[in-house]
Amino acid sequence: MIRFLTAGESHGKALIGIIEGIPSGLGILKSEIQSELIRRKQGYGRGDRQKIETEELEILSGVRAGKTLGSPIAIQIPNQDWKNWQEIMSVESESQEGKIDVPRPGHADYAGAVKYRHFDMRNVLERASARETAMRVAIATIARKFLFDLGVQITNCVIEIGGEKDSSKWNDLIDLARKEGNTLGGIFEVCATGHIMGLGSYVQWDRRIEGNIAKAFMSLNAIKGVEIGLGFETARLMGSEVHDEFILREQGVGYRSNNSGGVNGGITIGEPLTVRAAMKPLSTLRKPLSSISLKTKEKIEAHYERSDVCAVWSAAVIGESLLALVLADEYLTKFGGDSMTEIKERVFEWKKKAEKIFF
């Protein structure tokens, strides 16, 4: 199974990631990872930080001659902005500059300071920052390549920005929010196709694939809701309007619709796997909300450093990465195998047998 860890602060020297469990023999290039990192930076409403970070990276271990070795893969992404924060973010010496004692509404600042007993909330926001997701995208690119070699593709689309579904109005809404010193959230959808029926399980609560998907998406900064298929809409409809009827296709049993989003009873059914996520407006506002100085106990405007106005397009790319990590782990859980050759053989045999269960 796949395990991964990330480390690093938003303005620290670098982000570090380690992913373990990727089979040997998978072709992966640094340029493929960087391409996904650049996709993550894009989208209308992003801030100046995206112009600073070039997303150069280095693969430190686990890959030789363009192929994975089966051992842990380590990646490093230097933070280009670190040169402007060396004193503030020094590992050894303490700087009074950059200290924060005023929490932002909606951010991890205050709860994190209480939990970890930090009197400088810089210690919280640096790790709670969405900058960490750059490394998740980097290591997930390897999982995406693994899935691609098995015939699985993952895409995304943005559905709403600030409650507006008409995409022709989105840029104007973002411009208005920027002018007002505000931020906007939205809804995006991620879809996987080409995967097999039979990933996940109903036999234990923690093996249901929709549970693992929801956990992955809810771990993304600013995500406040996740649904699969029709999701919350199913609660407003009759059963006859929700459940996907079976039909007979040339290649076997199929479905008339895909309201379930590709999952029934904790198991993938071979139909497109659709995941929708709601992203709240970012919590750092150029026109800050009211807060309290934890040092003076006085009412004061919340801390502002810099922020995007809207990052929904970026979140959608990260969503692809999160789904890739879940699906790759499910493939390895089901089929095992230490090399791509071994896994491909097992997946191919499963596909042949699954199509002939009833015929």
Q: Are 336 and 178 in contact (CB under 8 A)?
A: no
- pLDDT tens readout for residues 132-153: 999 999 999 999 999 999 999 9
User: Could you write out the three-class secondary structure of 138-153?
Assistant: HHHHHHHHHHHHCCCE
Query: Residue 32: what pLDDT?
Result: 97
* Helices 312-335 + 340-354 axis angle, to 10: 80
- pLDDT tens readout for residues 9-47: 999 999 999 999 999 999 999 999 999 999 999 999 987
Superfamily assignment of 3-354 in CATH?
Chorismate synthase AroC (3.60.150.10)
Query: Residue 54: what pLDDT?
Result: 81
Q: Identify the CA nearest to 290 among candidates 304, 303, 301, 281.
A: 301
Within 10 A of 326 (CB to CB), how many other CB atoms are there? 26
Torsion angles phi and psi, residue 354, rounded to 5: -60, -35
Q: Whole-model pTM?
A: 0.95
Q: Are 87 and 144 in contact (CB under 8 A)?
A: no
Query: Residue 355: what pLDDT?
Result: 60
Q: Are 277 and 261 in contact (CB under 8 A)?
A: no
Q: For the chain, which ranges sit under pLDDT 70?
A: 355-359
Query: Residue 51: what pLDDT?
Result: 78
Q: Which residue is associated with the tokens 């300071």?
A: 113
Query: Residue 356: what pLDDT?
Result: 60
